[in-house]
Amino acid sequence: MTSDGLRLATYDFGDQDAPAAVALHGFASSALLNWQQTGWTRDLTRAGFRVIAYDQRGHGASDKPEDPSRYSMEQLVTDLLAVLDGYLLDEVALVGYSLGARVAWHASVDLPTRVGSAVLGGIPGGDPLTRFRLEEARRFIADGTPVDDRLTHTYLSMAAGLPGNDLTALVALVEGMRGGRQPDPSDPPQQPLLFATGSDDPILDASRALAAAVPHGQFFEIPGRNHFTAPTSRPFRDRAVQFLAAAR
Protein backbone atom coordinates (compact mmCIF):
# COMPACT_ATOMS: atom_id res chain seq x y z
CA MET A 1 0.00 0.00 0.00
CA THR A 2 1.21 3.49 -0.84
CA SER A 3 1.16 6.38 1.59
CA ASP A 4 -2.03 7.67 -0.09
CA GLY A 5 -3.83 4.33 -0.04
CA LEU A 6 -3.15 2.78 -3.46
CA ARG A 7 -2.32 -0.88 -3.99
CA LEU A 8 0.93 -1.70 -5.79
CA ALA A 9 1.46 -5.09 -7.44
CA THR A 10 4.92 -6.43 -6.57
CA TYR A 11 6.93 -9.41 -7.83
CA ASP A 12 9.77 -11.20 -6.04
CA PHE A 13 12.40 -13.30 -7.87
CA GLY A 14 15.42 -15.20 -6.58
CA ASP A 15 17.03 -15.96 -3.23
CA GLN A 16 15.51 -13.84 -0.46
CA ASP A 17 18.90 -13.62 1.27
CA ALA A 18 20.69 -12.29 -1.83
CA PRO A 19 21.47 -8.59 -2.39
CA ALA A 20 18.36 -6.90 -3.73
CA ALA A 21 17.85 -5.08 -7.01
CA VAL A 22 14.59 -3.18 -7.40
CA ALA A 23 13.34 -2.77 -10.98
CA LEU A 24 11.35 0.27 -12.15
CA HIS A 25 9.61 0.03 -15.52
CA GLY A 26 8.91 2.72 -18.10
CA PHE A 27 5.80 4.68 -19.05
CA ALA A 28 2.87 2.53 -20.25
CA SER A 29 4.81 -0.68 -19.50
CA SER A 30 4.73 -3.00 -16.49
CA ALA A 31 7.11 -4.91 -14.26
CA LEU A 32 6.65 -8.25 -16.00
CA LEU A 33 6.73 -6.82 -19.52
CA ASN A 34 9.76 -4.62 -18.94
CA TRP A 35 11.84 -6.97 -16.80
CA GLN A 36 10.68 -10.60 -16.78
CA GLN A 37 9.71 -11.10 -20.42
CA THR A 38 12.95 -9.48 -21.61
CA GLY A 39 15.28 -11.70 -19.56
CA TRP A 40 16.36 -9.16 -16.94
CA THR A 41 15.05 -11.04 -13.91
CA ARG A 42 16.64 -14.27 -15.16
CA ASP A 43 20.07 -12.72 -15.71
CA LEU A 44 20.05 -10.74 -12.46
CA THR A 45 19.05 -13.73 -10.35
CA ARG A 46 21.72 -15.86 -12.07
CA ALA A 47 24.23 -13.16 -11.12
CA GLY A 48 23.26 -13.55 -7.46
CA PHE A 49 20.64 -10.84 -7.01
CA ARG A 50 17.18 -10.98 -5.57
CA VAL A 51 14.93 -8.94 -7.88
CA ILE A 52 11.94 -7.00 -6.61
CA ALA A 53 9.86 -5.50 -9.41
CA TYR A 54 6.59 -3.64 -9.12
CA ASP A 55 3.97 -1.97 -11.28
CA GLN A 56 4.14 1.75 -10.71
CA ARG A 57 0.87 3.53 -9.94
CA GLY A 58 -1.26 3.82 -13.07
CA HIS A 59 0.31 0.70 -14.60
CA GLY A 60 0.00 -3.06 -14.76
CA ALA A 61 -1.93 -4.67 -11.91
CA SER A 62 -1.49 -1.70 -9.57
CA ASP A 63 -4.23 0.83 -8.88
CA LYS A 64 -4.84 3.34 -11.67
CA PRO A 65 -6.28 6.62 -10.37
CA GLU A 66 -7.57 8.97 -13.06
CA ASP A 67 -6.96 12.15 -11.05
CA PRO A 68 -3.79 13.98 -12.20
CA SER A 69 -3.15 15.14 -8.62
CA ARG A 70 -2.34 11.52 -7.69
CA TYR A 71 0.75 11.61 -9.90
CA SER A 72 4.03 13.42 -9.20
CA MET A 73 7.67 12.49 -9.04
CA GLU A 74 7.56 12.90 -5.26
CA GLN A 75 4.73 10.36 -5.08
CA LEU A 76 6.56 7.88 -7.30
CA VAL A 77 9.66 8.08 -5.11
CA THR A 78 7.48 7.65 -2.02
CA ASP A 79 5.94 4.57 -3.65
CA LEU A 80 9.43 3.12 -4.09
CA LEU A 81 10.16 3.80 -0.43
CA ALA A 82 6.95 1.97 0.52
CA VAL A 83 8.16 -1.07 -1.45
CA LEU A 84 11.58 -0.96 0.23
CA ASP A 85 9.98 -0.74 3.66
CA GLY A 86 7.39 -3.39 2.82
CA TYR A 87 10.13 -5.86 1.92
CA LEU A 88 12.38 -4.72 4.82
CA LEU A 89 15.17 -3.74 2.44
CA ASP A 90 17.83 -1.49 3.94
CA GLU A 91 19.97 -0.89 0.84
CA VAL A 92 19.29 -1.87 -2.76
CA ALA A 93 20.48 -1.44 -6.30
CA LEU A 94 17.98 0.18 -8.65
CA VAL A 95 17.38 -0.68 -12.28
CA GLY A 96 15.14 1.78 -14.10
CA TYR A 97 14.15 2.46 -17.67
CA SER A 98 12.74 5.75 -19.04
CA LEU A 99 10.15 6.86 -16.46
CA GLY A 100 11.62 4.29 -14.07
CA ALA A 101 15.10 5.72 -14.62
CA ARG A 102 13.86 9.17 -13.68
CA VAL A 103 12.38 7.75 -10.46
CA ALA A 104 15.70 5.99 -9.79
CA TRP A 105 17.64 9.25 -10.25
CA HIS A 106 15.49 11.13 -7.75
CA ALA A 107 15.44 8.21 -5.32
CA SER A 108 19.24 8.10 -5.45
CA VAL A 109 19.30 11.79 -4.46
CA ASP A 110 16.52 11.62 -1.86
CA LEU A 111 17.34 8.24 -0.30
CA PRO A 112 21.15 8.09 -0.33
CA THR A 113 21.37 5.51 2.48
CA ARG A 114 18.87 3.19 0.78
CA VAL A 115 20.29 3.21 -2.77
CA GLY A 116 23.77 1.78 -3.25
CA SER A 117 24.00 1.91 -7.05
CA ALA A 118 21.70 2.23 -10.03
CA VAL A 119 21.29 1.55 -13.74
CA LEU A 120 19.42 4.32 -15.57
CA GLY A 121 18.31 3.35 -19.06
CA GLY A 122 16.85 5.83 -21.54
CA ILE A 123 16.90 8.87 -19.25
CA PRO A 124 16.90 12.31 -20.89
CA GLY A 125 17.57 15.67 -19.39
CA GLY A 126 14.71 18.16 -19.16
CA ASP A 127 10.99 17.39 -19.19
CA PRO A 128 10.01 14.94 -21.95
CA LEU A 129 6.29 15.42 -21.26
CA THR A 130 6.01 19.03 -22.37
CA ARG A 131 5.43 18.03 -26.01
CA PHE A 132 2.62 15.57 -25.20
CA ARG A 133 -0.68 17.12 -26.32
CA LEU A 134 -3.19 16.39 -23.61
CA GLU A 135 -6.30 17.65 -25.41
CA GLU A 136 -5.58 15.57 -28.53
CA ALA A 137 -5.07 12.53 -26.31
CA ARG A 138 -8.35 13.12 -24.48
CA ARG A 139 -10.30 13.51 -27.73
CA PHE A 140 -8.78 10.26 -29.00
CA ILE A 141 -9.84 8.45 -25.83
CA ALA A 142 -13.33 9.97 -25.88
CA ASP A 143 -14.32 9.36 -29.50
CA GLY A 144 -11.36 8.10 -31.49
CA THR A 145 -10.47 11.45 -33.06
CA PRO A 146 -7.13 10.94 -34.85
CA VAL A 147 -4.07 12.40 -33.14
CA ASP A 148 -2.03 14.70 -35.38
CA ASP A 149 0.99 15.20 -33.13
CA ARG A 150 3.56 12.51 -33.86
CA LEU A 151 4.93 12.11 -30.32
CA THR A 152 1.46 11.97 -28.76
CA HIS A 153 0.31 9.48 -31.39
CA THR A 154 3.38 7.28 -30.82
CA TYR A 155 2.88 7.07 -27.06
CA LEU A 156 -0.86 6.52 -27.27
CA SER A 157 -0.47 3.80 -29.89
CA MET A 158 2.17 2.05 -27.80
CA ALA A 159 0.03 2.27 -24.65
CA ALA A 160 -3.15 1.12 -26.40
CA GLY A 161 -1.36 -1.90 -27.82
CA LEU A 162 -0.47 -3.33 -24.41
CA PRO A 163 -3.12 -5.38 -22.53
CA GLY A 164 -4.40 -3.89 -19.30
CA ASN A 165 -3.42 -0.29 -19.92
CA ASP A 166 -5.89 2.41 -18.93
CA LEU A 167 -5.31 5.32 -21.31
CA THR A 168 -7.22 7.78 -19.14
CA ALA A 169 -4.99 6.98 -16.15
CA LEU A 170 -1.83 7.25 -18.26
CA VAL A 171 -2.87 10.64 -19.65
CA ALA A 172 -3.60 11.73 -16.06
CA LEU A 173 -0.06 10.68 -15.16
CA VAL A 174 1.33 12.82 -17.98
CA GLU A 175 -0.72 15.81 -16.84
CA GLY A 176 0.16 15.33 -13.18
CA MET A 177 3.90 14.99 -13.76
CA ARG A 178 4.37 17.55 -16.51
CA GLY A 179 6.35 20.55 -15.32
CA GLY A 180 7.39 18.74 -12.15
CA ARG A 181 10.76 17.88 -10.71
CA GLN A 182 13.43 16.99 -13.27
CA PRO A 183 16.96 15.54 -13.00
CA ASP A 184 19.27 18.39 -11.97
CA PRO A 185 22.88 18.06 -13.22
CA SER A 186 23.97 20.55 -10.54
CA ASP A 187 22.71 18.22 -7.78
CA PRO A 188 23.51 14.72 -9.02
CA PRO A 189 23.40 11.42 -7.17
CA GLN A 190 26.68 10.46 -5.53
CA GLN A 191 26.34 6.67 -5.94
CA PRO A 192 27.85 4.69 -8.83
CA LEU A 193 25.41 5.04 -11.74
CA LEU A 194 25.40 3.40 -15.15
CA PHE A 195 23.56 5.35 -17.84
CA ALA A 196 22.54 3.48 -20.99
CA THR A 197 20.73 4.81 -24.05
CA GLY A 198 20.15 3.40 -27.52
CA SER A 199 22.34 4.54 -30.40
CA ASP A 200 19.17 5.34 -32.39
CA ASP A 201 17.42 7.18 -29.54
CA PRO A 202 17.07 10.96 -30.08
CA ILE A 203 17.86 11.54 -26.40
CA LEU A 204 21.30 9.91 -26.71
CA ASP A 205 23.33 13.13 -26.38
CA ALA A 206 21.18 14.44 -23.52
CA SER A 207 21.58 11.16 -21.63
CA ARG A 208 25.33 11.21 -22.18
CA ALA A 209 25.53 14.78 -20.87
CA LEU A 210 23.53 13.83 -17.78
CA ALA A 211 25.90 10.94 -17.10
CA ALA A 212 28.89 13.30 -17.36
CA ALA A 213 27.46 15.39 -14.51
CA VAL A 214 27.48 12.45 -12.08
CA PRO A 215 30.72 12.03 -10.07
CA HIS A 216 30.63 8.24 -10.34
CA GLY A 217 28.70 7.97 -13.59
CA GLN A 218 29.40 5.68 -16.51
CA PHE A 219 27.76 5.66 -19.93
CA PHE A 220 26.96 2.77 -22.27
CA GLU A 221 25.61 3.32 -25.78
CA ILE A 222 23.22 0.47 -26.61
CA PRO A 223 24.05 -0.54 -30.18
CA GLY A 224 21.31 -0.49 -32.79
CA ARG A 225 18.41 0.29 -30.46
CA ASN A 226 15.90 3.10 -30.11
CA HIS A 227 13.97 4.20 -27.03
CA PHE A 228 11.34 1.49 -27.36
CA THR A 229 13.58 -1.46 -28.24
CA ALA A 230 16.49 -0.82 -25.85
CA PRO A 231 15.13 -2.86 -22.91
CA THR A 232 15.35 -6.09 -24.94
CA SER A 233 19.04 -5.59 -25.80
CA ARG A 234 21.34 -8.35 -24.56
CA PRO A 235 24.44 -6.08 -24.59
CA PHE A 236 22.53 -3.62 -22.38
CA ARG A 237 21.52 -6.41 -20.02
CA ASP A 238 25.02 -7.85 -19.89
CA ARG A 239 26.63 -4.47 -19.22
CA ALA A 240 24.09 -3.64 -16.50
CA VAL A 241 24.55 -6.96 -14.70
CA GLN A 242 28.33 -6.57 -14.87
CA PHE A 243 28.11 -3.03 -13.47
CA LEU A 244 25.79 -3.98 -10.59
CA ALA A 245 27.88 -7.00 -9.67
CA ALA A 246 31.02 -4.84 -9.50
CA ALA A 247 29.24 -2.19 -7.39
CA ARG A 248 27.79 -4.73 -4.97
Q: What digits encode the pLDDT tens for the residues 119-171?
A: 999 997 778 778 899 999 999 999 999 999 998 998 899 899 888 899 999 99
Regarding pTM above 0.75, the answer is yes
Structure letter (DSSP) for residue 142: H
Mean pLDDT of 206-212: 96
What is the torsion angle, in degrees rounded to the nearest 10, for the CA atoms of residue 179, residue 184, residue 187 and residue 190? 120
Mean pLDDT on 53-72: 97
Q: What is the pLDDT of residue 152?
A: 92
Q: Give the model's confidence band at 243: pLDDT under 50 very low, under 70 low, under 90 confident, else very high.
A: very high
Return the pLDDT at 92: 98
Report the pLDDT value the prediction gives residue 130, as an integer from 0 to 100: 82
106 belongs to a structural domain: yes
Q: What is the pLDDT of residues 82-101, one digit of tens each?
A: 999 999 999 999 999 999 99
Asked whether residue 112 is assigned to any structural domain, the reply reads yes
Binned at pLDDT 50, 70 and 90, residue 17 comes out as very high
* CA dist list (Å): 230 to 11, 32, 94, 124, 237: 22, 16, 17, 14, 10
Question: Does residue 46 sit within a domain?
Answer: yes
Q: Which pLDDT value is given to residue 126?
A: 77
pLDDT for 124 equals 79
Among 101-110, 115-124, 129-138, 226-235, name the one with the lowest average pLDDT: 129-138
Find the mean pLDDT for residues 34-55: 98
| Closest of 123, 132, 122, 124 to residue 153, by C-alpha | 132
CATH number of the domain residue 99 falls in: 3.40.50.1820
* Contact in structure between 8 and 81 (CB atoms under 8 Å): no
Q: Report phi then psi at 97, rounded to 5.
A: -130, 130
- 78 found inside a domain: yes
Q: What range defines the domain where residue 34 resides?
A: 10-127+182-247
**Count H helices, E strands: the chain?**
9, 7
Structure letter (DSSP) for residue 69: G
| Any domain includes 133 | no
Distance CA 237, CA 165 (A): 26
CA separation for the pair 4, 9 (Å, rounded) = 15
pLDDT number for residue 21: 98
| Average pLDDT, rounded, for the chain | 96
Cα 173 from chain centroid?
13
Confidence of residue 10 (pLDDT cuts 50, 70, 90): very high
Asked if residue 77 is part of any domain, the answer here is yes
The pLDDT of residue 151: 87
Report the number of distinct structural domains present in the chain. 1
The confidence band for 13, taking pLDDT boundaries of 50, 70 and 90, is: very high
